[in-house]
Amino acid sequence: MAAVTKHFIAGEWREGAGGAMQNVNPSTGKLITEFPIGTAEEVDAAVRAARDAFDGGWRDATPSVRRKLLFKFAELLQANAADVGRIATEDMGMPWAFTTGETLYCAEFVEYFAGWADKINGETIPLSAANTLDYTLREPVGVVAAIVPWNSAVSLAVWKLAPALACGNTVVIKPSELAPLVALKLMDLLAEAGFPPGVVNCVLGDGPQTGAALIEHPGIDAIAFTGGTATGRRVAETVGRNLKRVSLELGGKSANVIFADADIDAAAVQAGVGCFINTGQQCIAGSRVLVEESVQDAFLEKLSAFATSWAVGDPMQPTTQMGPLINEGALDRVLRFVDEARDTAQVTMGGERLGGDLADGYFVAPTIVAGVRNDMRIAREEIFGPVLSVIPFRDEDEAVRIANDTPYGLAGGVWTNDLSRAHRVARRIEAGTVWVNSWLTLNPQAPFGGYKASGIGREGSREGLDVYLQTKNIYVQFH
Ligand code: NDP
């Protein structure tokens, strides 16, 4: 039996007093470790530790102290990228080469927010009244609860930790029960960087018990949540009752629109990568690919060639481009979507569990479903697997109508060589991010978040600070 993993509270590793859960390597189906299900008392201890750290000095730490600690954390992420990547790969199955790259990208993300730590300023406000001074301060909110899923375990945690800490908050993070180990490694690195005890805490456990206890805790001042839209709605209900600040980064069903005048070779490759990367387990997966009818056959041929070349296998091998799905339940769900689509559309490749050397893991081949209509279930629901639906369209208006005919609004794409059309369609797509002749790039300097049911708030950029700050107005009367 593997070692029992512990909570990280007030700078110490603590055994859990409640039940335990197991996490499994999705490539092999083998047990990695056991970890505790955080109880309400353990959540309370973590929140108290965060509060004590906030009140006991962290709220007064100078911006340059926060900046230097974050730069040190970024340095440690860089130095440990391969190790952090390996932990993530074993935990959730994304290829090691990609999780290592993701960690290096996270180091840049931390550097970006380290840079903000000493540039968070208020304003002086000219009033009509004589002999007055009015100014604002941008202050940390206090204790932040960060709840993150498993699918990009490194970035999703770092996207919350870095801005929350840059603004001067303390944090209690609860990673997903499906991939809890990366967050523990991050705690290690944050402690090594010099963050004082209690500034960052990690409680392990599941959503319904530990996660729910955390977001209900009265000592929390803000909730930064990433996850599915259904869970996001539950978090929002709690937030409504308790009146907390919140950011919600939720699901997507993004449309990638390919016009006949586009570079079809590049579009086919990027559409494939945009959907199959991380085995389609990406909120920003381009799972609906809208293709102008006149180029549909040529596009499908190139897309199929790309998908055939996309290397599925052991995610620890450096050449592997796609690993397994997270667990058996996810595999069954993905295959059910594809089977249902067989009656009404054409599954042109994939749609099956992979056997042979991969039989013990939850592997499925890249899957392409052609002739999809936007009212089919496969086009409406987030599948969270490597299933790409190709939906034909006749003209620009129809493309925009189909792209926007979804409850989600996380991302979108436009492929065209017509400059005016590129900007026109980008503006008409109802989504927080639109890529033109590209897909997938997310930069720390640019805001990321959802329209419609894909969320509230932004991560990255100056806007990514907002949920972690509150504005105080100070009015001074001269006598
Ligand atoms: P879930 O919504 O199931 O879980 C997300 C997190 O919430 C997990 O830590 C989970 O814990 C926790 N949780 C679950 N129930 C509760 C609860 N009642 N109270 C508090 N916390 C709870 O999402 P998935 O794990 O399925 O992740 C995939 C989803 O995340 C997809 O919809 C994807 O699109 C979305 N996502 C959005 C991103 C964005 O930036 N917009 C980025 C990445 C993913 P546990 O897992 O332990 O149960």
CB contact set of 62 (below 8 Å; sequence gap of 6+):
none
Taking the centre of ligand 1 as the mean of its atom positions, its distance from the CA of residue 148, in whole angstroms, is 6
Q: How far is the CA of 232 from the centre of ligand 1 (A)?
A: 8
Cα distance between residue 364 and residue 233, in whole Å: 30
Sign of CA dihedral 416, 417, 420, 426: positive
How does pLDDT run along the chain (479 residues), one tens digit per residue? 345 589 999 999 999 998 999 999 999 999 999 999 999 999 999 999 999 999 999 999 999 999 999 999 999 999 999 999 999 999 999 999 999 999 999 999 999 999 999 999 999 999 999 999 999 999 999 999 999 999 999 999 999 999 999 999 999 999 999 999 999 999 999 999 999 999 999 999 999 999 999 999 999 999 999 999 999 999 999 999 999 999 999 999 999 999 999 999 999 999 999 999 999 999 999 999 999 999 999 999 999 999 999 999 999 999 999 999 999 999 999 999 999 999 999 999 999 999 999 999 999 999 999 999 999 999 999 999 999 999 999 999 999 999 999 999 999 999 999 999 999 999 999 999 999 999 999 999 999 999 999 999 999 999 999 999 999 999 999 99
Q: At a CB cut-off of 8 Å and minimum separation 6, what does 424 contact?
A: 396
* 275 a catalytic residue: no
Q: CA angle, corner 139, sides to 134 and 145, nearest 5? A: 155
Residue at token pair 């979507």: 337
Which of 151, 214, 235, 327 should be mutated for ligand 1, with most atoms under 8 A from CB?
Answer: 151
User: 111, 283, 382, 396: which one is catalytic?
Assistant: 283
Which residue is closest in CA terms to ligand 1's atom 16?
207
